[in-house]
């Protein structure tokens, strides 16, 4: 017995894996999943294409991992925003704002996660992702109903509507066809986010503001 897996090797492998992940992330953040080629990723990461397959079962698997990682980051941010002070309605509003504003800050990745046409396996991940958001919102709505600051309603259904309203409102502005050509001024972004949120909060509370 001559070769034995050692700590040094374990680390080196882990590093390569991380490099692959990082470069994939970069490719996706740059042109979405569809246009991210394995050969390009391998090139960027400084490994051969075959090496990718020593770390990931398949392209789809690699993408699924990226999807989950990127998603979790976003979901965590929204969860964080839901954990601040104030009544449930206020916290929800902060969370919705966080969701929308982060999407506009990284439009291509947001588009890839929310709206890019992807293969079935990734589409499944996306449903999980949307569900995760919806569940966060749902919980907050229930809290609000208990607190009395949000009227009684089907929390699950309403949370789904929230996700849909925001996603749809962002698809246009995020769409990569436009993203390169049109630059949305910050002031417009704010107005956009404000009116989305107004609609959503009214939908929830049935109260004009």
Partner DNA sequence: ATAAGCAGTGAATCATTATTCATTTCTTGT
Partner DNA sequence: ACAAGAAATGAATAATGATTCACTGCTTAT
Using CB under 8 A, list all residues that contact its own copies.
117-120, 123-124, 127, 130, 151, 153-154, 157-158, 160-169, 171-172, 175, 177, 191-192, 195-196, 198-200, 202-209
If we measure between CA atoms, which residue out of 147, 127, 118, 129 comes closest to residue 205?
Answer: 147
Per-position x/- string for 56-95, each x denoting binding to DNA as judged by CB under 7 A, each - no binding: --xxx-----------------------------------
Neighbours of 139 (CB within 10 A): 15
Q: How is residue 158 annotated by DSSP?
A: H
Task: Output the smallest distance, CB 8 to its own copies, in A.
Answer: 43
d(CA 176, CA 192): 18
Per-position x/- string for 20-59, each x denoting binding to DNA as judged by CB under 7 A, each - no binding: -----------------xxx------xxxxxx-xx---xx
With binding defined as CB under 7 A, does residue 117 bind DNA? no
Helix (H) or strand (E) holding 84: none
With binding defined as CB under 7 A, does residue 158 bind DNA? no
- Using the structure block, give the residue that is written with the tokens 């800050």: 105
* Residue 185: contacted member of its own copies, DNA, none (CB under 5 to 8 Å, by partner type): none
* Residue 204: contacted member of DNA, its own copies, none (CB under 5 to 8 Å, by partner type): its own copies
Residue (11 or 190) nearer to DNA, CB: 11
Non-local CB neighbours of 148 within 8 Å, separated by 6+ positions: none
* Residue 59: contacted member of DNA, its own copies, none (CB under 5 to 8 Å, by partner type): DNA
Helix axes 59-81, 7-31, angle to 10 degrees: 80
* Residue 178: contacted member of its own copies, DNA, none (CB under 5 to 8 Å, by partner type): none
Residue 41 near residue 16, CB atoms below 8 Å: no
If we measure between CA atoms, which residue out of 102, 95, 15 comes closest to residue 51?
Answer: 15
Q: Which residues bind DNA (CB under 7 A)?
A: 1-6, 8-9, 12-13, 16, 37-39, 46-51, 53-54, 58-60
């Amino acid at each position: 017995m001559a070769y034995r897996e050692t700590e040094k090797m374990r680390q080196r492998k882990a590093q390569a894996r991380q490099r692959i992940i990082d470069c994939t992330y970069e490719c996706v953040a740059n042109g979405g999943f569809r246009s991210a080629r394995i050969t390009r990723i391998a090139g960027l990461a400084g490994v051969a294409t075959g090496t990718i397959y020593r770390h990931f079962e398949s392209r789809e698997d690699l993408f699924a991992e990226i999807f989950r990682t990127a998603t979790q980051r976003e979901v965590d941010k929204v969860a964080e925003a839901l954990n601040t002070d104030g009544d449930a309605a206020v916290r929800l509003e902060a969370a919705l704002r966080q969701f929308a504003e982060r999407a506009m800050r990284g439009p291509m990745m947001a588009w890839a996660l929310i709206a890019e046409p992807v293969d079935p396996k990734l589409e499944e991940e996306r449903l999980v992702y949307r569900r995760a958001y919806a569940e966060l919102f749902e919980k907050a709505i229930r809290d609000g109903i208990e607190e009395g600051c949000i009227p009684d309603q089907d929390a699950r259904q309403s949370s789904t509507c929230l996700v849909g309203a925001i996603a749809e409102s962002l698809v246009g502005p995020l769409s990569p066809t436009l993203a390169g050509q049109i630059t949305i001024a910050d002031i417009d972004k704010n107005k956009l986010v404000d009116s989305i949120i107004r609609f959503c909060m009214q939908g929830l509370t049935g109260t004009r503001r």
